[in-house]
Chain A
């Protein structure tokens, strides 16, 4: 951005100020920034430091390490972020190409497609949860009608339950990333594709040599940001499985809240601190990328 040329800003026009102090522009600037700074200090900085202080005792980590649920939650978290993010981002990339096609019905579909993102989690997860009900759910009822046999108890099998939690997560977040990648693709000049068509390039070649180089940076940024948000996704797991069966589908986000509900605040804080090795590098990269 060429903000350097306007770096003076309006301050340079206020001839009356600048007498050894702040101009009225700077004073107003400070006044207007203070509300946000106050919110940030009281509700982000202080809580974060307070959390670290609560999580300082080594005993919490020993206790956490001894809790088999914790080990399982770490594995689940790693599986969840690795699978969910890659599946979601690759599908989003593909669908962004699909939505580039200009058809009336595709425009209508794109309007509908955003619904999962706009609609709250709880009603839709409630709905999915009931679909998976072994007795009354629509899936097993259909299963029974077709095979005359009872279907599986979907949410009673830990890995299957976690898979459905991932599917719910993907259902919810896919529209947002598709939209972002779509706007990235729309920014690519059409001339390049036309020139490539004249040269007889195939669809795959066009993607490989024009689309991908143009949006790979955006794709990476989205994947990183998506990782952070996926780590913080409490709803998909909690509302679908409640961490069960037998606490085998917890991820770090739900485990931290579980300890909090059990009034084990130190364990809760320690769980968050254990997520830092994943979060901090991501935050560092994102800050570097976006604050350029």
Chain B
């Protein structure tokens, strides 16, 4: 009677021995961010592990743009939203069209298109950034938010096509056959049969593209430079160089900036986990 209980306690203890360090490791930088955001200026630098006098002052300063570092806070937050939303929409359109054509219409050369998409997926982002920066200059797109939106779409679309193609292939071909016998045109098949069935994957891919664009730093930092056109992370990065950075305010802004992607992930995580891992584990 005692043995099994003892054994389950040891198992639980062993699991906790892994679980507790994993918890601390995961949460530490984020907790530290929040600690600063909720601390007053003086207590932030005292090295306390929790806010002794929690305050919302930092948030009031940030939201009120009451510091010269933060003159364009709302504008830059809007820029981040606009860029992420546009990237999500464009990626969905381009990738869904391509995946439908390759998987359901069996377009000739579809295999080649898929391999080209994979090729982009396999170029390290920082290395593609340099030539892309030059080419955006040639196209006259530098300092336009569209440059960043297109760049993000270029990076998100390959994975999107790959994941959507995997999901499309799983749809039974009988559905297409039935629709065709009923006289559906390719575009009717696309809108009336394909899109409704693909909704879970589309949600996963849309959320993925939005997170990618929202979280991007390097391309935003290279392609945009005006204070009124940059998204929030570039503004944060620019203050890093200053000697007198208002750290509590930067951390507060950072925390505000980190909340939307976490929220998007938690709302859509069921779709994202199954959609994204299904695409990635195929190999």
Which residues in A have some Cβ–Cβ distance to B below 8 Å? 1, 3, 6-11, 13-14, 24-26, 28-33, 35-37, 39-40, 42-44, 46-48, 50-51, 54, 95, 98, 101, 103, 105-106, 109, 111-116, 118-131, 136, 138, 141-142, 144-145, 171, 175, 179-180, 183-184, 187, 217-218, 221, 225, 228-229, 231-235, 238-239, 242, 252-254, 256-257, 260, 265, 268-269, 272, 275, 279, 282-283, 286-287, 289-292
B140, CB-defined interface residue at 8 Å: no
Given the known inter-chain contacts A119-B261, A127-B251, please indicate yes or no for A265 contacting B29, CB distance below 8 A.
Answer: no
Given the known inter-chain contacts A116-B26, A269-B130, please indicate yes or no for A138 contacting B32, CB distance below 8 A.
Answer: yes
Q: Choose one: B15, B107, B255; the contact of A123 (CB below 8 Å).
A: B255
Given the known inter-chain contacts A36-B117, A142-B47, A269-B131, please indicate yes or no for A124 contacting B173, CB distance below 8 A.
Answer: no
Smallest beta-carbon distance B36→chain A, Å: 7
Q: In whole angstroms, what is the CA distance A183 to B261 when docked?
A: 23
Smallest beta-carbon distance A69→chain B, Å: 16
Smallest beta-carbon distance A21→chain B, Å: 12
Name B248's closest neighbour in chain A (CB-CB).
Answer: A130
Q: In whole angstroms, what is the CA distance A176 to B133 when docked?
A: 28
Smallest beta-carbon distance B75→chain A, Å: 18
A-B contacts, 10 of them at CB < 8 A, read: A10-B189, A48-B128, A121-B233, A124-B29, A145-B47, A180-B280, A228-B124, A232-B127, A290-B118, A292-B283
Which residues in B have some Cβ–Cβ distance to A below 8 Å? 15, 18-19, 22-23, 25-27, 29-30, 32-33, 36, 45-47, 49, 93-95, 97-98, 100-102, 104-108, 110-111, 113-120, 122-135, 138-139, 150-151, 153-154, 157, 161, 169, 173, 176-177, 180-181, 185-187, 189-190, 211, 214-215, 217-218, 222, 233, 236-237, 240-241, 247, 250-251, 253-255, 257-258, 261-262, 264-266, 269, 273, 277-278, 280-283
Q: In whole angstroms, what is the CA distance A43 to B123 when docked?
A: 13
Given the known inter-chain contacts A26-B108, A235-B218, please indicate yes or no for A48 contacting B131, CB distance below 8 A.
Answer: yes
The interface residues of chain B lying within 8 Å CB-to-CB of A36 are 94-95, 97-98, 113, 117, 157, 161
Name B23's closest neighbour in chain A (CB-CB).
Answer: A109
The interface residues of chain B lying within 8 Å CB-to-CB of A260 are 130, 133, 222
Given the known inter-chain contacts A9-B105, A106-B19, A145-B47, please indicate yes or no for A50 contacting B134, CB distance below 8 A.
Answer: yes
Smallest beta-carbon distance B20→chain A, Å: 10
Q: Choose one: B113, B115, B129, B154; the contact of A257 (CB below 8 Å).
A: B129
The interface residues of chain B lying within 8 Å CB-to-CB of A122 are 217, 233, 236-237, 254, 257
- Residue among B100, B122, B218 with most chain A CB within 10 A: B122
The interface residues of chain A lying within 8 Å CB-to-CB of B161 are 36
Smallest beta-carbon distance B124→chain A, Å: 3
The interface residues of chain A lying within 8 Å CB-to-CB of B126 are 231-234, 253-254, 256-257
Given the known inter-chain contacts A138-B49, A221-B283, A279-B123, please indicate yes or no for A130 contacting B105, CB distance below 8 A.
Answer: no
The interface residues of chain A lying within 8 Å CB-to-CB of B185 are 24
Q: Choose one: B130, B222, B258; the contact of A119 (CB below 8 Å).
A: B258
Name A101's closest neighbour in chain B (CB-CB).
Answer: B15
Name B161's closest neighbour in chain A (CB-CB).
Answer: A36
Name A29's closest neighbour in chain B (CB-CB).
Answer: B107
B211 touching A232, Cβ below 8 Å? no
Smallest beta-carbon distance A30→chain B, Å: 6
- B contacts with A: majority SS: helix
Q: In whole angstroms, what is the CA distance A126 to B232 when docked?
A: 13
Smallest beta-carbon distance B223→chain A, Å: 12
The interface residues of chain A lying within 8 Å CB-to-CB of B265 are 114, 118
The interface residues of chain B lying within 8 Å CB-to-CB of A144 are 47
The interface residues of chain B lying within 8 Å CB-to-CB of A268 are 130
Smallest beta-carbon distance B24→chain A, Å: 11
The interface residues of chain A lying within 8 Å CB-to-CB of B46 are 141
Given the known inter-chain contacts A6-B173, A7-B106, A145-B47, please indicate yes or no for A32 contacting B222, CB distance below 8 A.
Answer: no
List of 10 A-B pairs having minimum Cβ-Cβ separation, nearest first: A232-B124, A141-B47, A123-B254, A29-B107, A47-B131, A253-B126, A51-B131, A29-B105, A9-B106, A28-B186
A25 touching B23, Cβ below 8 Å? no
The interface residues of chain A lying within 8 Å CB-to-CB of B189 are 10
Smallest beta-carbon distance B104→chain A, Å: 7
Q: Choose one: A25, A29, A141, A291; the contact of B114 (CB below 8 Å).
A: A291
Q: In whole angstroms, what is the CA distance A36 to B110 when docked?
A: 12
A105 touching B19, Cβ below 8 Å? yes
Q: In whole angstroms, what is the CA distance A153 to B119 when docked?
A: 42
Name A251's closest neighbour in chain B (CB-CB).
Answer: B126
Given the known inter-chain contacts A28-B186, A36-B157, A126-B250, please indicate yes or no for A257 contacting B218, CB distance below 8 A.
Answer: yes
Smallest beta-carbon distance A101→chain B, Å: 6
The interface residues of chain B lying within 8 Å CB-to-CB of A287 are 115, 118-119, 122
Q: In whole angstroms, what is the CA distance A1 to B168 when docked?
A: 13
Q: In whole angstroms, what is the CA distance A145 to B116 when docked?
A: 57
The interface residues of chain B lying within 8 Å CB-to-CB of A128 are 29, 32
Name A222's closest neighbour in chain B (CB-CB).
Answer: B280
Smallest beta-carbon distance B252→chain A, Å: 10
